[in-house]
Amino acid sequence: MISTFKSAAVFCGSKPGLHPLFAQHASTLGKLLALHRVTLIYGGGNTGLMGIVANEVLDNEGEAIGVMPDLLIQREFRHDKLTQFHIVEDMHARKKLMYSLSEAVIILPGGIGTFDEMIEVMAWNSLSIHNKKIYVINSDGFFDLFIQQMYKLQEHGFLYSDVSAAFEVVSSPEMIFK
């Protein structure tokens, strides 16, 4: 698969997680985004996996656009070296702006916020609100149970389309750009 998108919303943890592969994949993704001239659209923080992705994009002369609700400015440690930074009213406005600025979505490991963002973008695709390509980077099997649950939803008749159309699972960032 060859990336044909020029901007990507990246959803991932504001913490680094415990497995070293998570940070490695975040770093690789940032480098690849810059190399392929794909603008990063992300949560605007300078910590965790999101900070790693943004720093790699910027260190490799790429563009990074942050979107953060005012209430998270202190909690997520706003990145101060971004190409652009948008302060929005709340989390809903954050997701809406990130979606509108991006042509694709890439998911790395993260917490409840990451899962919220992932589920919402999948729901929006399902409802034809948009039709963005969604890549789930399944670092060390992090999303295995989520993927199983999605197939369970399909098995029990709760999805409108085949789960394989909802997102593409890759085991490394490189697979997005092959």
CATH number at residue 136: 3.40.50.450
Per residue in 51-93, pLDDT (tens digit) is 999 999 999 999 999 999 988 886 768 899 999 999 999 999 9
Is residue 75 one of the residues assigned to a domain?
yes
Is residue 152 one of the residues assigned to a domain?
yes
Is residue 76 one of the residues assigned to a domain?
yes
Is residue 128 one of the residues assigned to a domain?
yes
Is residue 38 one of the residues assigned to a domain?
yes
pLDDT at 2 over 80: no
The whole domain housing 125 covers 7-177
- Supply the pTM of this predicted model: 0.95
pLDDT at 10 over 70: yes
Q: How confident is the model at residue 18 (pLDDT cuts 50, 70, 90)?
A: very high
Is residue 1 one of the residues assigned to a domain?
no
Number of separate domains in the chain: 1
| Cα angle: 95, vertex 97, 99; to 5 degrees | 65
Q: Are strands 104-107 and 133-137 parallel, antiparallel or unpaired?
A: parallel
Is residue 57 one of the residues assigned to a domain?
yes
H or E element at residue 84: strand 84-88
- What order do you get walking across the sheet with 84-88 strand by strand? 84-88, 64-69, 39-42, 7-11, 104-107, 133-137, 168-170
pLDDT at 1 over 70: no
Q: Which residue did the predictor score with more confidence, 19 or 162?
A: 19
pLDDT at 115 over 80: yes
